[in-house]
Amino acid sequence: MLKIGSHVSFSGKGLLNAAEEAATYGSSAMMIYTGAPQNTRRKPIEDQFIEEGKALMDKHGIVEIVVHAPYIINLGSYKDDTYELAVRFLQEEIRRTDYIGVKNIVLHPGAFTDKDAEYGINRIAEGLNEVLHGVKDTNVNIALETMAGKGSEVGRSFEEIAAIMEKVEDNRRLVVCMDTCHIHDAGYDIVNDFDGVIEQFDRIIGLDRLAVVHLNDSKSLLGTRKDRHAPIGAGMIGYDAMQYIVNHEKIRHLPLILETPWIGKEKGKERPMYEAEIALLRGDLESRFGRDFLEDVERLVFFFRKQEIDRRAFVTETWQLLKNDAKAKKADGREPMERLYDMVTEAQLFADLSEEQINQRLIAWFAIGKQI
């Protein structure tokens, strides 16, 4: 069974709340931050309902947790105060991760800001040496995340990740988190040649180092270095490629974590598509949502067929239009799912369904529309 899930909230009763949320999505894995990702404020980890959360995980078949380090950690900074905070705070997060019993903490390697990539690689390696030296008594690996390459972030290529690892003394505790959106945006063609990308990863870093996969579609064209996540099927990668990745023999045993955006037309009322995405990628859509759901998807297939809308062509052409035509974007900046949702609601196809329910059916249409 796939170990697949999403990012969930660690607020309130900590791990108990996280497990409760993950269970509502049908998750068998989950990713947490041990506090807010944008600041250093943390409640004592001992008070975060760890045992209660693990008991609920066992009940619902959630078999793995991944921790994500806060975004404010930047080991690549040349500013001493920023760098020292990053080292100290990452050590604290590793200790919190170890207390929970989690083996991998995902880390954005860092950004070189006003320097250059060579400086960033050396500075990050220096920081990792210092971090790991101070947490020798823990059993946590640091999973360096592959990055899209926006701005001055380091980790935009497998070579940069490998260069960091080579400079770290105890690099046995360094592994990798591969983000599908990030590597697509960085220029790796995972749509047409995922096998080749995996072979390249193995040659440069080693598949034994791959520990976590972030599953995200992308709003961006290949190699544009934007880092803009999309729901599965609603981006330039597409459902077919994502399903191939998820079921790849060299990937499927790893924890697979969705970080797809919450969507909705009304600000503050956006909802995640995690439940539908997980069910589709795992192949249990009907048992999760029921036969009526599939019949609604069939209605979408016939509706869009009458409109002569092809699921992949519509998505890719819309993103290309929004990328390449400034006038078109200004006149109508709606993303693909927004446009499809508006067509469905204007036709009153599902007048009794909520926006979330319609969007779930659209996600399924991206996945199974060609089969009907």
The answer to whether 277 and 259 are in contact (CB under 8 A) is no
Counting Cβ atoms within 10 Å, is residue 117 exposed (0-12), middle (13-18) or buried (19+)? middle
Distance between CA atoms of 349 and 301, rounded to whole angstroms? Answer: 12
Q: Which residues contact 81 (CB under 8 A, 6 or more apart)?
A: none
| Of the candidates 200, 195, 239, the residue with the CA atom closest to the CA atom of residue 216 | 239
Task: Tell me the binding residues.
Answer: 68, 108, 145, 179, 182, 214, 227, 229, 259
SS3 content of the chain, % helix, strand, coil (to 5): 50, 15, 40
Q: In the chain, which ranges are E strands?
A: 4-7, 29-32, 64-68, 104-107, 110-111, 141-145, 153-154, 174-179, 210-215, 217-218, 229-230, 256-258
- Residues within the annotated binding site for Zn(2+)? 68, 108, 145, 179, 182, 214, 227, 229, 259
Cα separation, 21 vs 18, whole angstroms = 5
Per-residue tokens: 111? 């950004």
* Token pair 């930047």: residue: 74
Q: Tokens for 238?
A: 């597409």
Instruction: List b or e across 293-309, with b for residues whose CB sees 16 or more CB atoms inside 10 angstroms.
Output: bbebbeebbebbeeeeb
Q: Which DSSP string corresponds to 225-279?
A: ----EE-TTSSSS-HHHHHHHHT-TTTTTS-EEE-PPPB-SSTT--B--HHHHHH
Rg (CA), the chain: 21
d(CA 295, CA 233): 19
